[in-house]
Amino acid sequence: MERPVGILGGMGPAATVDLFEKIVSNTTVVEDQEHIPISIYNNPQIPSRIEAVLKGGKSPIDELIKSAKELEKMNVEFIVMPCHTAHFWIDELQANINTPIISMVDNTLELLVNDSKYIDNKVLLLASPATVKTKIYEEKFKTENVDLVIPTEEEQQVITQLILNVKKGLLPPTEDLEKLSPILSKYEDKGVVGLIGGCTEIPLIFPYIDHQMVKIDTTLQLAKKVIELKQSSKTLLKV
């Protein structure tokens, strides 16, 4: 029996649904049985990653470990987490479980450094304030030939509010988008070629953003990585 992919979800639930939908819709099949088996543990009780980083709130690591172990009980082949900020704890989480975790951050980096349109160009990070503070993207990009641009503190406040309203189910968050638009126009004028959806809520508002910059849907790219890995494992099983 083919082992399922494990999705460690709940951060937030809409982002979890988004990843699941993108895996399903981007898998080429002719019948149901050809789809990838997926086990989702949607745990919305995982403490706020933003509160933990910015305000010294309760760490999410215990609930992350608990959730991952629930997925291990389902005999998953590997685990993905549709939450960028949670990747701040990925090494500690990996050390406490036996199943490999596919990093969303590493996957995004791999995409950009292997695409000529981003080489020696600027990309803007749209992420939670906690992801920005922990510098998980900056640390990965600092030795690469892609120029990662971080919004100012004032601009980050607009992005943060947008993320929070998407978590509340406000789609589209019209007022927030009106405030975001001039920010994006400014960076577009400065030669920024792409927007990194560095929070899993950000790709949910990409359809409502009318700018020429490439919208880098990190959730979609993670879905494609899942499909690629599962197709490779199927090929190996057939050999």
Identify the pLDDT of residue 101. Answer: 98
Distance CA 15, CA 13 (A): 5
Catalytic positions are 83, 199
Mean pLDDT check: name the lowest of 72-81, 122-131, 162-171. Answer: 162-171
Confidence of residue 236 (pLDDT cuts 50, 70, 90): very low
Rounded to a whole number of angstroms, the CA Rg of the chain reads 18
Q: What is the pTM of this model?
A: 0.93
**Statement: 5-104+220-238 belongs to CATH 3.40.50.1860:** yes
Tokens of residue 224, six digits:
């494609």
Pair 133, 54: CB distance under 8 Å: yes
What is the CATH code of the structural domain delimited by 105-217? 3.40.50.1860
Distance CA 229, CA 78 (A): 10
Domain boundaries, the chain: 5-104+220-238, 105-217
Going by C-alpha positions, the residue among 212, 216, 200, 69 that lies closest to residue 141 is 216
Confidence of residue 56 (pLDDT cuts 50, 70, 90): very high
Identical fold at 5-104+220-238 and 105-217? yes
Q: How many CB atoms lie within 10 A of CB 92?
A: 12
Tell whether omega for the bond before 44 is within 30 degrees of 0, i.e. cis. Answer: no
